[in-house]
Amino acid sequence: MNYAIIGFGKIGQALAKAFARSGIDVSVATTRDPESFASAAAAIGPGVIPKTLAEAVNADIVFLAVRFEAHGDVAKALPTWKGKIIVDVTNAYGVPPEQLGGQPSAKVVAQAFTGGRLVKGFNHLGATVLGQDPAVHGGRRVVFLASDDDGAAAEIGALAENLGFSPIELGGLSEGGLLVQGRGNSWGHLIFKDLVKFA
């Protein structure tokens, strides 16, 4: 299994830190030449590998860490996402609901990534918190996952555990998943709730 993070800004770098801390290699990509962010990647760890977008999307599991408005451009990087899991870390805060046809933002992202298996997750915390060691106070920082594909949610749950987090599955994108999605100018009730789970 191999991994990529598309978008290497605040949240992409926070995710990359979690991979580096856990000793799991991850590719990172932006719209730019990989050389332009190679030193930022190296500063996080040797297993954070800068690539072009075209190379990075070949990973089995792709974290989408770009602004919501850019998701369509990333989706176009492959004709089909069949066989891949996309982890939607975007927050569509401020996007008018009518622009999304009234759908939850993650549903709109899922439709753009034709054939892919979409999991919404890792998006409810600010980048500064997400980038910290998730082992806190003798427990593990919680990340929420929502998906219409139970198998994909379970796979990302296992990865979240390997990254040191405590995953909580919320159910489908239009059900529990709404708790972790921005809608218009409001936030789902679990957004920004920094929770720790004890064994």
Ligand X SMILES: NC(=O)c1ccc[n+]([C@@H]2O[C@H](COP(=O)([O-])OP(=O)(O)OC[C@H]3O[C@@H](n4cnc5c(N)ncnc54)[C@H](OP(=O)(O)O)[C@@H]3O)[C@@H](O)[C@H]2O)c1
The dihedrals phi and psi of 50, each to the nearest 5 degrees, come to -70, 135
Size of the site for ligand X (CB under 6 A): 25
DSSP string, 3-60: EEEE--SHHHHHHHHHHHHHT--EEEE-SS-GGGGHHHHHHH-TTEEE--HHHHTTSS
Of 4, 12, 63, 78, the one binding ligand X (CB under 6 A) is: 12
Gap between the Cα atoms of 76 and 114, Å rounded: 10
Of 20, 26, 30, 116, the one binding ligand X (CB under 6 A) is: 30
Binding region for ligand X (CB under 6 A) out of 44-52, 88-96, 153-161, 169-177: 88-96
The neighbouring-strand residues paired with 88 are 64, 120
Gap between the Cα atoms of 157 and 122, Å rounded: 11
Structure tokens at 55: 């190379």
Q: Which residues inside 96-155 make contact with ligand X, applying CB under 6 A?
A: 123, 126-127
Gap between the Cα atoms of 106 and 168, Å rounded: 17
Q: Which residues inside 52-81 make contact with ligand X, applying CB under 6 A?
A: 53, 65-68, 70, 73-74
Task: Return the number of the residue (25 or 73) whose C-beta is nearest ligand X.
Answer: 73
Gap between the Cα atoms of 159 and 124, Å rounded: 17
Of 1, 10, 33, 186, the one binding ligand X (CB under 6 A) is: 10
Of 1, 25, 31, 42, the one binding ligand X (CB under 6 A) is: 31
Of 4, 5, 6, 108, the one binding ligand X (CB under 6 A) is: 6
Of 27, 91, 105, 181, the one binding ligand X (CB under 6 A) is: 91
Structure tokens at 29: 């990509």
Nearest residue relative to ligand X (C-beta): 9
Task: Return the number of the residue (117 or 124) whose C-beta is nearest ligand X.
Answer: 124
Of 3, 4, 5, 11, the one binding ligand X (CB under 6 A) is: 11
CB 143 within 8 A of CB 89: no
Report the interface residues with ligand X, using CB under 6 A: 6-12, 29-32, 53, 65-68, 70, 73-74, 89-91, 123, 126-127
